[in-house]
Amino acid sequence: MTIIVTGAAGFIGGNFVHHWFERSEEPVVVLDKLTYAGNPATIQSHLDAGRCTLVQGDIGDRALVAGLLAEHRPRAVLHFAAESHVDRSIHGPGEFIQTNMVGTFELLEAVRAYWSALEAEPKAAFRFLHVSTDEVYGSLSETDPAFSETTPYAPNSPYSASKAGSDHLVRAYHHTYGLPTLTTNCSNNYGPYHFPEKLIPLMILNALEGKPLPVYGDGQNIRDWLYVRDHCEAIRQVLAKGRLGETYNVGGKNEIRNLDVVQVICAKLDALRPKADGTSYASQITFVADRPGHDRRYAIDPTKIEAEIGWQPAESFETGIDKTVTWYLENTAWIDSVRTGAYREWVSKNYSARD
Ligand code: NAD
Ligand code: DAU
């Protein structure tokens, strides 16, 4: 059998491929557009080993997807591909609507046609797993209960609205056509291969390069951090055991304020790579203008996935951030490879203050 994974040259999809091949020999076909966020180097070892094939293409290209499905006859399609960065969605929402909503629609149409034509047994076994985010639920106050699967959708950014739209399409394809779908809504991931525009890798690399560490607003916004490999394991288990048409919230019960996250990173770097002048990396923390529409707090109630699927995260924030900081210190070749080209151009246009 084979699975098709969209967006696996990116952060979570790439980690998912590593995680998958530590547990399975089942081949993986990756469909990825290789945008600024897609880096084949992330999965190069599996491409070289011949168990993983990378097809450069757009999920919105229905004919391309139909051709891949006909050629590889997968038992599942796992859908990670997306435009994923909130700040970029504020500067330019168009790509987010195109990929996250229109692209997911085209992908669903190709998958529906393939699935409809399958024989009874492979048809019953087939799964479409949609990887989504807790941001679709909007923002919590400090005293609100955590997001559950029944929390009403209230997306606040163009990114989260586009992901909410894709979630609704997936839901509708199950409800209307009976497509065997599963949806996961996960909190903030961190770990290896995280593109250095997101909070944790940006802070690690800016610190090492002696640049300001830009904390938005008062730094008191809260995110619920999950080590990426724990998310990958959740997805693997939902694929195997999830009930069709259901959604599962995935989170690490690790609610931390942004400023505290940055201070933990600085303390780790102070210990592992002390600055020559003896000062702490924390001296580089700089408060900058807030993100427009900045959600105050996200928190996930993972009761359903724990009770139904039996999933639990393996890493605490303490162990996960250790592994992450160490990875960034040791993998300079990967970091250099993503900090070039389109990414650099975009950063210099939109974030010139940080360079
Ligand atoms: P990422 O930006 O690192 O990777 C996205 C990948 O999708 C890249 O390889 C990119 O080239 C590819 N891609 C983009 N547009 C495409 C298109 N039109 N066709 C084919 N490929 C395309 O994102 P990520 O952080 O790995 O997120 C993966 C998924 O998980 C997304 O759906 C995101 O919404 C969701 N998610 C992310 C987080 C997080 O903390 N990063 C948390 C919850 C959910
Ligand atoms: O909650 C899940 C979501 O987490 C995913 O769906 C998104 O794809 C992913 O990018 C992430 O979104 P966030 O907006 O929470 O992540 P980001 O790393 O961009 O920011 C985390 C927090 O840190 C947020 O409150 C904004 C703040 N921040 C971010 C950056 C890049 C700063 O204070 N300074 C920064 O430079």
- Look at residue 339 in the predicted model and tell me its pLDDT: 77
From the CA of 132, give the closest atom in ligand 2: 6
Taking residues 15-20, report their average pLDDT. 98
User: Tens digits of per-residue pLDDT, 25-48?
Assistant: 999 999 999 999 999 989 999 999
Please report whether residue 36 resides in a domain.
yes
Domain that holds residue 95: 3-194+226-251+299-314
Please report whether residue 209 resides in a domain.
no
The CB of 153 under 6 Å from ligand 2? The reply is no
A 10 A CB-CB count for 348 gives 11
Of 34, 44, 35, 25, the closest CA to residue 334 belongs to 44
Please report whether residue 102 resides in a domain.
yes
- Look at residue 350 in the predicted model and tell me its pLDDT: 52
The CB of 37 under 6 Å from ligand 1? The reply is yes
DSSP H/E element including 222: strand 222-224
User: Tens digits of per-residue pLDDT, 154-210?
Assistant: 999 999 999 999 999 999 999 999 999 999 999 999 999 999 999 999 999 999 999
The CB of 134 under 6 Å from ligand 2? The reply is yes
Cα–Cα dist 179/43, whole Å? 30
Cα–Cα dist 242/130, whole Å? 12
User: Tens digits of per-residue pLDDT, 80-89?
Assistant: 999 999 999 9
CATH number reported for the structural domain that contains residue 114 in this entry: 3.40.50.720
- The strand pairing partners of 128, in sequence order, are 77, 181
Number of domains in the chain: 1
Please report whether residue 141 resides in a domain.
yes
Please report whether residue 131 resides in a domain.
yes
CA of 56 to the centre of ligand 1 (A): 14
Question: At 348, is the pLDDT very low, low, confident or very high (cuts 50, 70, 90)?
Answer: low
Q: How far is CA 249 from CA 96, 136, 230, 252, in A?
A: 22, 11, 13, 10
ipTM: 0.99
Closest ligand (CA of 200): 2
Pocket test for ligand 1, best of 44, 55, 80 (most atoms within 8 A of CB): 80
Please report whether residue 82 resides in a domain.
yes
Closest ligand (CA of 249): 1
Pocket test for ligand 2, best of 199, 209, 290 (most atoms within 8 A of CB): 199
* DSSP assignment letter at 153: P
DSSP H/E element including 226: strand 226-227
